[in-house]
Amino acid sequence: MSIVPRRVYRARWAVGAAALALAATGCAPDSDASAEESPSPSGSASAPGWSAVGGEAVTGPSLSPSASQSEIDERRVDALPLPASCEATGIEQDASRVLGQLESPEFTEVRTDTRLECSWAGFDPDEGSEVVMVTFAPEKSLVAYPGHVPVKAQRRDDFFTTGAVASMGGIAQWDTGEMFSGVKLHLPGMLISTTSNTPRVATGDLLRAVTATAQDLTGGTAQQGTAEPAPPTPAPEPTVQADADSTAEPRD
């Protein structure tokens, strides 16, 4: 009979608790329950975290802030298919640098009708539990169509963009909290969220990993919705050549 040391039980419990905490906070679908109208604290003069990884501020709404929801819905693209598995997304390969920071991580996959969760959990004797989680949720993106800038993104400085994200028609969101940090990619038809609770994992590395995976899922370009039909090009007016005798002076 093998005896499992008590510290192993404690480690597994701590890893499980950390994974549940991240699922409940870091990679949960984006919610409008927070006060998006609240301005940033006036006393904060520090640059947004995304500025250190080459991010740029979101500028220029594609529709006016007063655009009706019906206008947005008319241009909304269909949700992308939910990936069949974590392996099918290629995320483990794209995040190999990130996962290499964890201590003997164990992989877990959870797939429902609306979301796919991929998580890697390890336990370090000095740092404690450490988890990286990536979630795919086709129905939860704030971006309705390529180039759409939701009002929420116009009013908060945690939203940003990069060249790669913009080429896919979406925007990114720097997602930090007391226990975790991560990033969300709001793409037309897909939300990809990633988060980690260990300081050894840089948020910039998380951004690069999910961006690479998103490019594979989308082909690297924006998903195009149903465009309004272009007005028909008017046919050129026929050129009528006058009969030679029609312009001649009448004869007596």
- The predicted structure's pLDDT at residue 208: 95
User: What whole-number distance in Å separates Cα of residue 26 and Cα of residue 178?
Assistant: 10
- The predicted structure's pLDDT at residue 67: 63
Q: 60 Cβ partners below 8 Å, 6+ apart?
A: 149
- The predicted structure's pLDDT at residue 200: 87
- The predicted structure's pLDDT at residue 246: 45
User: What whole-number distance in Å separates Cα of residue 117 and Cα of residue 95?
Assistant: 14
- The predicted structure's pLDDT at residue 72: 86
Q: 123 Cβ partners below 8 Å, 6+ apart?
A: 11, 12, 14, 15, 103, 104, 129, 130
For 192-225, how does the pLDDT look when each residue is reduced to its tens digit (9 = 90+)?
999 999 888 999 999 999 999 999 998 876 666 5
User: What whole-number distance in Å separates Cα of residue 236 and Cα of residue 239?
Assistant: 9
**Per-residue DSSP letters for 112-173?**
-SS-EEEEEEEEETTTEEEEEEEEEETT--S--STT---HHHHH-TTEEE-HHHHHTT-EEE
- The predicted structure's pLDDT at residue 237: 53
User: What whole-number distance in Å separates Cα of residue 213 and Cα of residue 47?
Assistant: 27
- The predicted structure's pLDDT at residue 217: 93
DSSP structure class, residue 213? H
Tens-digit pLDDT string for the chain (252 aa): 444 444 443 444 444 545 555 555 445 444 443 333 334 443 445 677 787 777 888 876 555 555 678 888 888 999 999 999 999 999 999 999 999 999 889 999 999 999 999 999 998 787 788 999 999 999 999 999 999 999 889 888 899 999 999 999 999 999 887 788 999 999 999 999 999 998 889 999 999 999 999 999 988 766 665 444 334 444 455 444 444 444 445 454
Cα-Cα end-to-end distance for the chain:
129
